[in-house]
């Protein structure tokens, strides 16, 4: 599954990923992949890849980094700043837009594929 995380700088994208990892039982250090481009978190039945594309200045850099191989049937790919690789990324199954709100943040979830819509429906129940 591919999840695009969008929102302004400081909106909480990395914090959301950290919370998801904790909810999945991950107890190790969770750091922002801003400089490494990707952090890898293996689980028994899948691997979570956390991408941060903020530092990309040209969408072609995505191709040159050779990261496409991470997208497969056993991966959950969470991508911050997907617009930095416009036209090069796999399509989002789910897009999560984080926005500043009066009392903190709000997350707007949209399923972009049938699998993504099923995931969003599951979260809503």
* Confidence at 121, pLDDT banded by 50, 70, 90: very high
Tell me the pLDDT tens digit for each residue of 55-113: 988 888 888 888 889 999 999 999 999 999 988 899 999 999 999 998 899 999 999 99
Write down the architecture of domain 2-124 according to CATH.
3-Layer(aba) Sandwich (3.40)
- pLDDT of residue 35 exceeding 90, the answer is no
Q: Is the pLDDT of residue 125 over 90?
A: no
User: Any idea what the Cα angle at residue 14 is, between residues 9 and 17, rounded to 5°?
Assistant: 145
pTM of the model: 0.92
- C-alpha distances (whole Å) from 86 to each of 95, 110, 119 are 14, 18, 24
Domain ranges of the chain: 2-124
């Amino acid at each position: 599954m591919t999840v695009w995380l969008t929102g302004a700088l400081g909106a909480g994208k990395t914090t959301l990923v950290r919370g998801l990892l904790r909810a999945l039982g991950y107890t190790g250090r969770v750091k922002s992949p801003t400089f490494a481009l990707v952090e890898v978190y293996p689980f028994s039945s899948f691997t979570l890849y956390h991408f941060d594309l903020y530092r990309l200045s040209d969408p072609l850099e995505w191709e040159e980094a050779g990261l496409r191989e991470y997208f497969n049937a056993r991966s959950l790919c969470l991508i911050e700043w997907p617009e930095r690789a416009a036209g090069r990324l796999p399509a989002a199954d789910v897009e999560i837009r984080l926005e500043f709100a009066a009392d903190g943040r709000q997350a707007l979830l949209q399923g972009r594929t049938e699998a993504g819509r099923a995931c969003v429906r599951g979260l809503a129940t």
